Amino acid sequence: MKRKIVQFLGFMLLRVCLYLVLAVLLLFLFDIIRKGGGVMSWEFLTQAPRRGMTEGGVFPAIVGTFLVTMITAVLAVPMGMFAAIYLNEYARQTRLTRLIRLAIRNLSGVPSIVYGLFGVILFVNIFAFGTSVLSAGLTLGLLTLPWTITASEEALKTVPDSYREGALALGATKWQSIRTNVLPYAVPGMLTGTVLGLARAAGETAPIMFTGAAFFLPVLPRSLGDQFMALPYHLYIMATQHHNILKVRPLAYGTALVLIALVLGMNMAAVVIRYRLRRKRRM
Amino acid sequence: MSDLKVDVRANLRKRSAVKEAAIKAFFFVNGITAVVVLLGIFGLLLYTSVPAFREIDLKEFLGSPAWDPTSPEKAEYGILSMVVSTFLVTIGALVLAVPIGLGVASYLSDVAHWRVREIVKPVVEILAGIPSVVVGFLGIVIFGPAIAGIFGLSHGLNALNGSILLAIMSLPTIISISEDSLSAVPQAYAEASLGLGATRWQTLVRVKIPAALSGIIAAVMLGMGRAIGETMTVLMATGNARSFPTGIFQSVRTMTANIAIELGEVPYHTTHYYALFAIGLVLFIITFLVNMAADIVLRKYQEREQ
């Protein structure tokens, strides 16, 4: 009897842990949606900040985040896919392969501010790209690379070996078998994983703070060499650096809502991509 | 005629072999990038840190709690306060996140209906998807006033706030890896325990959690690595006072926050500038060691499973 009571209380405790986590998540989402929803309007999404950022919207920050994420994608998506193809299709269990895998796991644990420092030295100074969309995008690209490699490799692993062997048995070369029998089945999973990685990159602040994000910029960047506004950095400014923080608090909430919607929207898009491509293949 | 055919075929085969080798080489170059980037980060950080130690004594750098690079009398470059602050906030986060995370993981693996599990897992993923700057913002607007109110402080931007936020951020990692390792405990272990008359609770606490312990430890260490390196949340929520931390209600400044605060204002190629990269190097080395240790524990555990 006593053991039953202990079990009951124990399971109750575990359940409380779960409810606590769910409550925090709900509190976060509820607070942002309620207070951010208050300032949401067409104007907020399509106009630049005005009057020392106490009025207006976040349009330049949306565009900036979009641009920088595009550059991130250009670097991290193909490289991640190619590296995954090497690791899963070509690499044998050698010491070098183990070293590559170890490097990937460690890269994904490197703090984002350290990527920021690396970007300042490599892209801003050595390559002389200056503080720009390009420098920030490439920095985020390196940050995203380990995630896209891992996600792409997971997708390649789900393709059965018999697909590869079938092609090879018919006289196809290695590359032919990969191209015709592996990639068509792995690409949906690869895309899903990489979009998830890009969503995380789009929400990063520390790597872009010193490589290209601007405090305030009324005009949109015209080239890759220009500075830009970005949603995460804009939120940081509105929350801590503005001269009248309490007055702009609603705008900060609005920025947080747009950022969350963007990141979670990309997450959902990834799931939709996977679903669509799977269904198309079946038909 | 047939000779010619054979010749053409051999030629083709040779050409396709060259092409295949080229393709393989192309993928290999991409594969090796991760190693190059990791070494590049370490190398460039080291290279940029070294000039700092022409003026700063390494012992002072690591052992002194006084950090005041812009002082007109005597610039001081001691990072001890920041290192201790980083660990204070991180350990506070683990104290909160480990029991809760392990609780959720146990609930999902041993108590919950599979349908609950299917719903809760993606929900936890959403938590992992919230950008750190948003978590920091919520620290300012939700937890800050709450902490100030509960403990009667003038403001709530302190180490405790940072710990709560870092706990929330490391929960998804801790939950998912712990749950994986609990689920990977062979069914026979649980059956043997239940067969001897133990309750499901006793089985969980005395058999399954000990059996999954290395996976759980790895999960905690990975969560710790994330917490040590996290920048935006602590920058926004811990108050950033430069003094040596004396308690969880103290305003503290971590290594990451200090880099973020000062890098934007420091003139290039000064000792202060190089010293910030040296902090970055220290941060890189600490997280590298923590992640390596987690990795070793996790590998050992997976090898044993096979």
Each residue's pLDDT tens digit, A76-109: 999 999 999 999 999 888 999 999 999 999 999 9
**Residues B170 and B36 both lie in one domain:** no
% residues pLDDT > 70 (chain B)? 95
**Residues B159 and B185 both lie in one domain:** yes
Q: In this model, does residue A167 exceed pLDDT 50?
A: yes
Nearest to B225 among A22, A85, A109 (CB): A109
Tell me what the mean pLDDT of segment A186-205 comes to. 90
**Residues B6 and B149 both lie in one domain:** no
Contact residues, A window 2-61, toward B, CB-based 8 Å cutoff: 3-4, 6-7, 10-11, 13-18, 20-22, 24-25, 27-28, 31-32
How close, in Å, is residue B293 to chain A by CA atoms?
11
Residue in B with minimal Cα distance to A239: B137
- Provide the pLDDT for residue A221: 83
Q: In this model, does residue A280 exceed pLDDT 80?
A: no
Q: In this model, does residue B124 exceed pLDDT 60?
A: yes
Alpha-carbon span A8 to A10, nearest angstrom: 5
> What is the tally of helices (H) and strands (E) in chain B?
14, 2
Nearest to A209 among B48, B130, B260 (CB): B260
Residues of A in contact with B226 (CB under 8 A): 109
- Provide the pLDDT for residue B303: 67
- Among B210, B233, B209, smallest CA distance to B159 is for B233
**Residues B163 and B29 both lie in one domain:** no
How close, in Å, is residue B66 to chain A by CA atoms?
22
The answer to whether residue B39 is domain-embedded is: yes
The answer to whether residue B44 is domain-embedded is: yes
The answer to whether residue B221 is domain-embedded is: yes
Residues of A in contact with B276 (CB under 8 A): 117
CB contact under 8 A, A114 and B133: no
**Residues B256 and B130 both lie in one domain:** yes
The larger pLDDT score, comparing residue A214 to residue A65, is at A65
- Provide the pLDDT for residue B41: 96
Structure tokens at A279: 């269904």
Pairing relationship of beta strands A49-50 and A55-56 according to DSSP bridges:
antiparallel
The answer to whether residue B298 is domain-embedded is: yes
**Residues B250 and B296 both lie in one domain:** yes
**B291: CATH:** 1.10.3720.10
Residues of B in contact with A239 (CB under 8 A): 133, 136-137, 140, 236
Tell me what the mean pLDDT of segment A37-42 comes to. 88
**Residues B271 and B211 both lie in one domain:** yes
**Residues B140 and B251 both lie in one domain:** yes
CB contact under 8 A, B229 and A263: no
Q: In this model, does residue A277 exceed pLDDT 80?
A: no
Residues of B in contact with A110 (CB under 8 A): 38, 41, 229, 284, 287-288
Q: In this model, does residue A33 exceed pLDDT 90?
A: yes
Q: What confidence category does residue B146 fall into, taking pLDDT thresholds of 50, 70 and 90? A: very high
- Among A155, A194, A99, smallest CA distance to B31 is for A99
Q: In this model, does residue B5 exceed pLDDT 70?
A: no
Contact residues, A window 61-80, toward B, CB-based 8 Å cutoff: 79
Alpha-carbon span A216 to A239, nearest angstrom: 14
For B252-280, the pLDDT digits (tens) are 999 999 999 999 889 888 999 999 999 99
For A208-263, the pLDDT digits (tens) are 999 988 888 877 888 888 889 999 999 999 999 888 888 888 899 999 999 999 99
What residue ranges define each of the domains in chain A, with the CATH number in brackets?
Answer: 57-282 (1.10.3720.10)
Contact residues, B window 211-270, toward A, CB-based 8 Å cutoff: 222, 225-226, 228-232, 235-236, 256, 259-260, 263-264
- SS3 state of residue A167: helix
Alpha-carbon span A64 to A123, nearest angstrom: 18
Domain that holds residue B141: 67-305
Q: Scan for tokens 């060691």, then name that residue.
A: B289
Alpha-carbon span B40 to B48, nearest angstrom: 12
Residues of B in contact with A102 (CB under 8 A): 295
Nearest to A111 among B111, B204, B231 (CB): B231
Tell me what the mean pLDDT of segment A40-55 comes to. 81
The answer to whether residue B62 is domain-embedded is: no
- Provide the pLDDT for residue A3: 86
The answer to whether residue B60 is domain-embedded is: no
How close, in Å, is residue A245 to chain B by CA atoms?
11
For B7-57, the pLDDT digits (tens) are 777 777 777 788 889 999 999 999 999 999 999 999 999 999 999 898 888
- Provide the pLDDT for residue B126: 85
Q: How many CB pairs under 8 A join A and B?
A: 250
Tell me what the mean pLDDT of segment B128-145 comes to. 93
Please compute, for residue A255, the number of CA atoms within 13 A of its CA located in the half-sphere on the CB side. Answer: 36
How close, in Å, is residue B121 to chain A by CA atoms?
11
At B100, which helix (H) or strand (E)? helix B80-106
**Residues B189 and B294 both lie in one domain:** yes
How close, in Å, is residue A43 to chain B by CA atoms?
22
**Residues B44 and B89 both lie in one domain:** no
- Provide the pLDDT for residue A281: 61
The answer to whether residue B85 is domain-embedded is: yes
User: Is the CB of B129 inside 8 Å of chain A's CB atoms?
Assistant: yes
**Residues B8 and B88 both lie in one domain:** no
Lowest mean pLDDT among A35-49, A137-151, A225-239: A35-49
**Residues B133 and B165 both lie in one domain:** yes
CB contact under 8 A, B132 and A204: yes
Whether the CB-CB separation of B89 and B80 falls below 8 Å is answered with no
Mean pLDDT of chain B: 89
Residue in B with minimal Cα distance to A91: B28
% residues pLDDT > 70 (chain A)? 98
- Among A234, A214, A195, A75, smallest CA distance to B232 is for A234
- Provide the pLDDT for residue A283: 46
Tell me what the mean pLDDT of segment B159-169 comes to. 94
User: Is the CB of B168 inside 8 Å of chain A's CB atoms?
Assistant: yes
Total number of domains in chain B: 2
Residue A39 phi/psi, 5-degree rounding, is: -100, 0
> CB A192: neighbour CB atoms within 10 A?
23
How close, in Å, is residue B69 to chain A by CA atoms?
19
Q: In this model, does residue B1 exceed pLDDT 60?
A: no
The answer to whether residue B165 is domain-embedded is: yes
How close, in Å, is residue A131 to chain B by CA atoms?
11
